[in-house]
Amino acid sequence: MKIDHRLDEAIAEKTAEGRFQLAVSAGGAQFVADEPVAAGGLGSGPSPYQLLASALAACTTMTLLLYIERKGWDVKVRCTAVGHRRDEACDPPDVFTRRIEFEGKVEPAQRSRLLEIADRCPMHRTLMKGASVVTTEADMPTAALATSHMADMEALIAVGRGSFDFTETA
């Protein structure tokens, strides 16, 4: 496949190992994706749902860090953990659980606001609102350059735009 590295694309190519092991490149990084042994894979890398959960965890943490920095708060985000499960009794059946760990003293008003902000990160919004997926053959023209994640976060926190308003007090 001809790859245009200027595009914000993730590329997954089958390796010579196992049924599902893939060599993945995204954002200049290379790693392996796979299915767990119980699902017929080698368990050599994260599954697609684990990758999606990691995108939500990373986006949440980055958005909180940016918000805290802009507010000038002395609050630290230690980590964000996201899990995924399917529960056919739920609508929608895909359920992501997110836990955020803060370091140090966090005032109750700050904690409440940070949990609100977590629900407004770009990946959270994409998952909640849905997305369009356009599928073409590899030899078709590629899509236009994508909006970067940082640009999405910046747009969300710009005063008077998006869901973050830095003019509030607290």
137 in a domain, yes or no? no
Indicate whether 60 and 117 sit together in one domain.
yes
Indicate whether 17 and 80 sit together in one domain.
no
Number of domains in the chain: 2
Indicate whether 59 and 15 sit together in one domain.
no
What does the alpha-carbon distance between residue 110 and residue 132 come to, in Å, rounded to a whole number?
35
Average pLDDT for 142-166: 64
pLDDT for residue 113 is more than 70? yes
Per-residue pLDDT tens over the stretch 4-56: 555 678 999 999 999 999 999 998 899 999 999 999 999 999 999 999 999 99
User: How would you class 59 by CB atoms within 10 Å of its CB: exposed for 0-12, middle for 13-18, buried for 19 or more?
Assistant: buried
Indicate whether 39 and 57 sit together in one domain.
no
Indicate whether 58 and 120 sit together in one domain.
yes
- Residue in 56, 58, 102, 60 with CA at minimum distance from that of residue 77: 102
Indicate whether 32 and 60 sit together in one domain.
no
Average pLDDT for 143-153: 71
Cβ proximity of 55 and 26 under 8 Å: no
What does the alpha-carbon distance between residue 33 and residue 5 come to, in Å, rounded to a whole number?
20
Indicate whether 102 and 114 sit together in one domain.
yes
Indicate whether 38 and 52 sit together in one domain.
no
Containing domain of residue 150, as a range? 47-129+144-161
Indicate whether 22 and 97 sit together in one domain.
no
Cβ proximity of 25 and 11 under 8 Å: yes
